[in-house]
Chain A
Amino acid sequence: MNELIDALMVLAVLLNLRLLGSSRLASCIRTVAIEGIALGLLPLLLAWNQGLSGRLVFLAVASIVTRGVVFPWVLLRAQRNANVQREVQPFINYPLSILTGVLTLVLSLWLCSRLPLPQAPQMLLIPVAMSTILVGLLVIVSRRLAISQVLGYIVMENGIYVLGLTLVQDIPALVELGVLLDAFVAVFVMSIVTHQISREFDHIDADQMDSLKG
Chain B
Amino acid sequence: MTQILVNILLPLILAPLLLGVINRTKAVLAGRTGQPLLQLYFDLWKLLHKGAVYSRTTSWVFRAGPMVGLAAILTASAIVPLGETSAPLHFAGDLILLAYLLGLARFFTVIAALDTGSAFEGMGASREVTFSALAEPAFLLGLAALARLTDNLSLTGILGGLTWHTWAASAPELAMAAAAMLIVFLAENARIPVDDPNTHLELTMIHEVMVLDHSGPDFAFILYGSSVKMWVLGAILVQAVLPASSAGYEARLAICLAGMFALAVLVGVIESVMARLRMIRVPQLLVAAIAFSLLAIILVLRRP
Contact = CB atoms under 8 A, between A and B. Distances in A.
Direct contact of A and B (CB under 8 A): yes
A13 B295 contact: yes
A17 B288 contact: yes
Contacts of B171: 3, 7
Interface in B248-304: 283-284, 287-288, 290-291, 294-295, 298-299, 302
Interface in A100-152: 101-102, 105-106, 109, 123-124
B61 to A, nearest CB: 33
B291 A94 contact: no
A99 interface: yes
Contacts of A123: 302
Interface in A12-29: 13-14, 17, 21
B93 interface: no
B302 A124 contact: yes
A95 interface: yes
A95 B287 contact: yes
B176 interface: yes
Contacts of B176: 10
Nearest to B175: A10
| Chain B residues touching A, range | 10 to 19
A93 to B, nearest CB: 9
B172 interface: yes
B284 A102 contact: no
A87 B111 CA distance: 39
B291 A17 contact: yes
A21 B172 contact: no
A97 B283 CA distance: 13
A3 B167 CA distance: 12
What DSSP secondary structure best describes chain B's contact surface?
helix
A6 interface: yes
A187 interface: no
A98 B291 contact: yes
Nearest to B294: A102
Contacts of A99: 287, 290-291
Given A3-B171, A7-B171, A123-B302, A102 B295 contact: yes
B298 A106 contact: yes
Most chain A CB atoms below 10 A, which of B172, B283, B290, B298? B172
A21 B282 CA distance: 12
A102 B287 CA distance: 11
Given A21-B288, A95-B283, A95-B287, A105 B298 contact: yes
Contact of A10 (B284, B287, B290, B295): B295
Contacts of B299: 10, 124
A98 B288 CA distance: 7
Nearest to A97: B287
Most chain B CB atoms below 10 A, which of A7, A14, A99, A123? A14
B294 A10 contact: no
A196 B145 CA distance: 49
Given A94-B287, A98-B288, 4 more contacts: A10-B172, A102-B294, A102-B295, A105-B295
Counting from the closest, the 10 A-B pairs by CB-CB distance are A95-B287, A10-B172, A102-B294, A102-B291, A98-B291, A98-B287, A95-B284, A94-B284, A95-B283, A17-B291
